[in-house]
């Protein structure tokens, strides 16, 4: 049975969120949903998430899963908000504890902050099988961008998170804590070994000025044209390119707020005695 997919593009963070479902009136998964965040005011809003909720209502879908490919550094997750409004289990890769431990240390989080992934409902192991209604899904372990990245293969579509971007924009950076270009190369090879017509759904698109944003590409297109990792690029060449390029990239605008919320599965830090929840900025540490 082919998966039906509706993609949503957030123009502020260039993030693609996807709703995957078996049929109208059936079951759905939402992948990498965005929570709007205004860094100037520290105010969150749910414009992007509400569009997804509206779509779920229109199609009369039951939200079974909220799937995170990884702890994002470029946007806050609305997983918790979606769950509060529509139910579903929030899932991420089993290695998320490694990311939580790194950032617990950086942010000096409260002693009770667990680094075992227990903020999430389900932690997927490599190649674990699960179902979205009548659709069969498999969790693929694709570390490199972070040590815990997952991709989700759902019938004939793969949601590739931060591994590959569109062929003209290459691959994800590997310079965050625990990132590893060699690992990313190997993870990408796993994706590129899938049948050529396999549809690859992106987590981001950063289109050049002369094209509109896209939500998907194919294995064949990536193998032919990806500027960083087309057929014939060796692991050594890739690692060298990736390291050189990462050294030139700025820190993502929202990394500090995003990570603090995303390692909590989209929940805000515990409120202080005055009832307000705060995010921390570690000075001279990143």
**Shortest Cβ 67–Fe ion spacing (Å):** 14
Q: Which is nearer to Fe ion, 64 or 73 (CB)?
A: 73
Q: Which is nearer to Fe ion, 11 or 195 (CB)?
A: 11
C-alpha 61/C-alpha 104 separation (Å) is 36
Q: Which is nearer to Fe ion, 83 or 171 (CB)?
A: 171
- 3-state secondary structure at position 231: coil
Q: Which is nearer to Fe ion, 22 or 162 (CB)?
A: 162
Q: Which is nearer to Fe ion, 107 or 165 (CB)?
A: 165
**Shortest Cβ 243–Fe ion spacing (Å):** 18
**Shortest Cβ 153–Fe ion spacing (Å):** 19
Question: Which residues are near Fe ion by CB under 5 A?
Answer: 72, 162
DSSP 168-219: TT-B----STT--HHHHHHHHHHHHTS-TT-EEE-SB----TTS---SEEEH
DSSP 131-177: EETTEEEEEEE--SSSTT-EEEEETTEEE--SSB--TTT-B----ST
**Shortest Cβ 2–Fe ion spacing (Å):** 27
C-alpha 186/C-alpha 215 separation (Å) is 23
Residue 95's closest CA among 77, 60, 71, 74?
71
- Nearest residue relative to Fe ion (C-beta): 162
C-alpha 22/C-alpha 169 separation (Å) is 31
Residue 2's closest CA among 20, 26, 28?
20
**Shortest Cβ 11–Fe ion spacing (Å):** 17
Distances (CA, A) of 79 to 29, 35, 65, 124: 11, 8, 10, 16
Q: Which is nearer to Fe ion, 82 or 259 (CB)?
A: 259
CB 172 within 8 A of CB 165: yes
**Shortest Cβ 75–Fe ion spacing (Å):** 9
């Amino acid at each position: 049975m082919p998966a039906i997919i509706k993609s949503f593009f957030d123009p502020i963070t260039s993030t693609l969120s996807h709703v995957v479902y078996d049929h109208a009136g059936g079951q759905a998964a939402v992948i990498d949903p965005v929570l709007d965040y205004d860094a100037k005011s520290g105010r969150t809003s749910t414009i992007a998430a509400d569009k997804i909720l509206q779509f779920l209502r229109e199609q009369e879908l039951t939200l079974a899963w909220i799937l995170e490919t990884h702890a994002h550094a470029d946007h806050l997750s609305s997983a918790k908000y979606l769950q509060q409004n529509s139910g579903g289990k929030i899932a991420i890769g089993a290695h998320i504890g490694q990311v939580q431990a790194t950032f617990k240390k950086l942010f000096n989080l409260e002693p009770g902050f667990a680094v075992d992934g227990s903020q999430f409902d389900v932690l997927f192991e490599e190649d674990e099988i699960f179902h979205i209604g009548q659709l069969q899904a498999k969790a693929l372990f694709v570390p490199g961008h972070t040590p815990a990245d997952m991709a989700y293969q759902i019938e004939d579509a793969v949601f590739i998170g931060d591994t590959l971007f569109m062929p003209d924009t290459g691959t994800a950076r590997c310079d965050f804590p625990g990132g590893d270009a060699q690992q990313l190369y190997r993870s990408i090879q796993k994706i590129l070994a899938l049948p050529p017509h396999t549809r690859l759904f992106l987590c981001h698109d950063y289109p050049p000025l002369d094209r509109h944003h896209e939500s998907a590409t194919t294995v064949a297109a990536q193998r032919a044209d990806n500027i960083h990792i087309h057929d014939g690029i060796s692991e050594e060449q890739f690692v060298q390119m990736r390291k050189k390029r990462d050294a030139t990239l700025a820190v993502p605008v929202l990394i500090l707020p995003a990570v603090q919320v995303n390692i909590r599965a989209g929940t805000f830090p515990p409120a202080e005695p005055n009832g307000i929840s705060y995010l921390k900025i570690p000075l001279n540490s990143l």
